[in-house]
Amino acid sequence: MHRFRVLIYLTLALSLSSCLEISETIKINKDQSGSVKYELKSTNTGNFLSKISGLFDISIEDQVISEAEKFVIQLRKQDGISNIQQNFDKHRGYYSVSFDFVNSKYVNEAVYNLAGSKKNIFTPGYIKVNKSQFKKINFSPWIKRYLEKEKIELPASPLTEAITFTSIVELPNTIVKVKPKNVIISKDQKVVTQEFPLLEITSGKAKTGIRIKFRK
């Protein structure tokens, strides 16, 4: 769980120093395989990291690179996961990790393994995909419990209140039905976007779960 602590502290630090965008993009193919990409985009990141690095024995940049490498190493051990990519560019204020998956089973195993747990028949999967449906669990309560356990507090301020988390799901065919209704659907009816204030997610108030039915 230490790797999540470092990334959460990085997010807190960036949010207080610059404009921060956090996004998750999940692409589903017709054969139920797909890809996942997580991105952190920020302005003035490089200058800020340089300033605060002197306060620690190891620079924030080095910590993030170290944790990203552990993240990628763990993904490479996971069956059904391939094409793992990472990018950390302090000058652009950009960080990303992406990977492809054979099916949603392997994504769920990877999520639990990265958290130091084991997926079993009694634990909910992060995502579930079949020939005509996509489902993602409401992960907001997970985040809230983790922050409380680690005693990490996201301070409320005009800056943190302006940070949003964007979740994008790209589907192989046109959408038939979506729950909940407060989503953005693309003109071609194949992409669903959700946006949440970060503070609503960390407080457990956001309903991040989604069900999408699409044509076979």
Is 60 exceeded by the pLDDT of residue 64? no
Predicted confidence band at 60 (pLDDT cuts at 50, 70, 90)? Answer: very low
Question: What's the rounded mean pLDDT across residues 185-202?
Answer: 92
Is 60 exceeded by the pLDDT of residue 167? yes
> What pLDDT, in 10s, does the model give residues 143-165?
888 778 777 776 676 666 667 88
Tokens of 164: 């949003």
- How far is 182 from 163, CA to CA, in rounded Å? 18
- How far is 24 from 34, CA to CA, in rounded Å? 13
Question: What torsion do the CA atoms of 195, 201, 204, 205 make, to the nearest 10 degrees?
Answer: -40
| Higher local confidence (pLDDT), 94 or 214 | 214
Lowest mean pLDDT among 11-25, 46-60, 114-128: 46-60
The neighbouring-strand residues paired with 101 are: 34, 81
Residues 6+ apart with CB under 8 A from 157: 16
Predicted confidence band at 52 (pLDDT cuts at 50, 70, 90)? Answer: very low
Q: Is the dihedral of CA 186, 99, 131, 128 positive or negative?
A: negative
CA angle 190, 194, 198 (to 5 degrees): 155
Q: Is 137 helix (H, G, I), strand (E, B) or coil?
A: coil
User: Of 199, 193, 129, whose CA–CA distance to 167 is shortest?
Assistant: 193
Alpha helices in 115-197 (DSSP H): 140-150, 158-161
Q: Where are the domains of the chain?
A: 2-125+140-170
The Cα diameter of the chain in Å comes to: 55
- How far is 154 from 171, CA to CA, in rounded Å? 33
DSSP letter at 126 equals S
Give me the DSSP letters along 24-36.
EEEEE-TTS-EEE
By DSSP bridging, strand 175-179 and strand 210-214 are antiparallel
